[in-house]
Amino acid sequence: MKPTFRFKTRSEASPPLEAVVLSHDGGGDPQKAMEAWIDPGYGSNLCRFSVGGKNIIDFDSRLLLEHDYTGTPVLYPTPNRVRDGVFRWRGRSYRQTKAGSLIVEHGLVHSERWERSEPIAEAESAALQTWIEFREGAPVFEAFPFPHRLTLEFRLSPRGVAVTYTIENRGNEEIPFGFGLHPYFVKLSGDELTFVTIPADSVMDATPELLPTGKLIDVKGTIYDLHTPTAIGVLDLDHVFTGIRPGAHARIEYRDLGIAVNLEATEDFSHAVLYSPRGEDFFCLENQTCSTDAHNLFDRGFARESGLKTVRPGETHQGRVTYSITF
């Protein structure tokens, strides 16, 4: 008999966190119960994703107070670094300045307050929609003056949590963008029993400043070959991977818990970043639609390598990352 899942929504106010929580009860199995915590006021951040009471993605409240990177920052429109805080597009330079500060990393929206709908709980899922407007007078418009709306839908189901992004171009120019999610995964099984797989054929060569040169390196026979599960503890990386095979996806395994996270993404997510600093209790495995410094890489003639995406005037683009759970 198919289990019946009960979905609920609630609010959690624990300063500085003001989260909307989507949950389900696991269909009578507490080990399969899930919660997704989203804070629209903190960059529409998926702050926590828990399974069976264990936090797979989590936040550090001390960093929240500093508006530092924690939880799942949304990277848009320039994932990761931008050379000197300036990108070029079709002969023009766009200085990434917001509130008088030069932004050189992780884009413009992760520290902004987003609007939101009322969360809903239905028979088969619970969902929340959030959005941010790029328009005259908005803090983000100076650096990225393309009129549009970026919308996120978070939907929790028995499979896991899906994050769908939608870009609506409301202007007269093509929008060049990159989108990414930067989840801080907890090493629930420690360094030795937390395994990662990234089915990518190439890693991007980079400068000491972690800016791409445009060269792609074949991972075969190198430490970057993560086609088979690899213990996170042997890795100390901050690298951009690409050449992910169609239909394939990155995967995290918590071997002693019998839980795996499948990072299923639509085909526009052509790149992935693994940040795995040694000595920390977290690592980041980030689905991205482009490379680091994508606009400048595209401007230098590395269109394919950059992965830069565009949306034409009056059109809409949509993509999705699903953190699906298998037991």
pLDDT value at residue 5: 86
The mean predicted confidence, pLDDT, of the chain is 96
Helical H segments across 176-299, by residue range: 190-193, 294-299
pLDDT value at residue 314: 97
> pLDDT for 229-244, tens place per residue?
999 999 999 999 999 9
Tokens of 227: 């086609």
**DSSP letter (8 states) at residue 27:** G
Contact between residue 203 and residue 217 where contact means Cβ atoms under 8 Å apart: yes
Query: Can you tell me the distance from the alpha carbon of 131 to that of 69, in angstroms, rounded to the nearest whole number?
Result: 20
3-state SS, residue 111: coil
Query: Can you tell me the distance from the alpha carbon of 28 to that of 129, in angstroms, rounded to the nearest whole number?
Result: 27
> pLDDT for 5-32, tens place per residue?
899 999 998 788 899 999 999 999 999 9
Query: Can you tell me the distance from the alpha carbon of 142 to that of 158, in angstroms, rounded to the nearest whole number?
Result: 41
Query: Can you tell me the distance from the alpha carbon of 279 to that of 44, in angstroms, rounded to the nearest whole number?
Result: 28
Query: Can you tell me the distance from the alpha carbon of 148 to that of 144, in angstroms, rounded to the nearest whole number?
Result: 10
Contact between residue 200 and residue 219 where contact means Cβ atoms under 8 Å apart: yes
Selecting from 1.10.10.10, 3.40.50.1000, 3.20.20.100, 2.70.98.10, what CATH number does the domain 7-326 have? 2.70.98.10
Q: Is the dihedral of CA 103, 108, 110, 114 positive or negative?
A: positive
pLDDT value at residue 65: 66
Using a cut of 0.85, tell me whether the model's pTM lies above it: yes
> pLDDT for 45-101, tens place per residue?
999 999 999 999 999 888 776 777 999 999 999 999 999 999 999 999 999 999 999
| Region 29-52 average pLDDT | 97
Query: Can you tell me the distance from the alpha carbon of 29 to that of 148, in angstroms, rounded to the nearest whole number?
Result: 43
Q: Is the dihedral of CA 135, 136, 140, 143 positive or negative?
A: positive
Give the CA distances from residue 242 to residues 131, 197, 248, 307, in Å, rounded to whole numbers and listed in that order: 28, 13, 12, 9
User: What is the H or E stretch that residue 194 is in?
Assistant: strand 194-197
Q: Which residues pair with 163 in a beta bridge?
A: 154, 321
pLDDT value at residue 16: 81
Contact between residue 167 and residue 309 where contact means Cβ atoms under 8 Å apart: no
pLDDT value at residue 268: 97
> pLDDT for 168-195, tens place per residue?
999 999 999 999 999 999 999 999 999 9
Return the closest-CA partner of residue 266 out of 291, 251, 249. 249
pLDDT value at residue 214: 97
Q: Which residues pair with 34 in a beta bridge?
A: 24, 51
Q: How confident is the model at residue 290 (pLDDT cuts 50, 70, 90)?
A: very high
Query: Can you tell me the distance from the alpha carbon of 21 to that of 35, in angstroms, rounded to the nearest whole number?
Result: 7
pLDDT value at residue 246: 84
pLDDT value at residue 1: 64
pLDDT above 70 covers a percentage of the chain that reads 99
**Over the Cα atoms of the chain, what is R_g?**
19
Output the 3-class SS for 241-260.
Answer: EEEECCCCCEEEEECCCCEE
Question: Within 13 Å, how many C-alpha atoms sit on residue 94's CB side?
Answer: 27
| One-letter identity of residue 325 | I
pLDDT value at residue 13: 87
Q: Where are the chain's structural domains?
A: 7-326
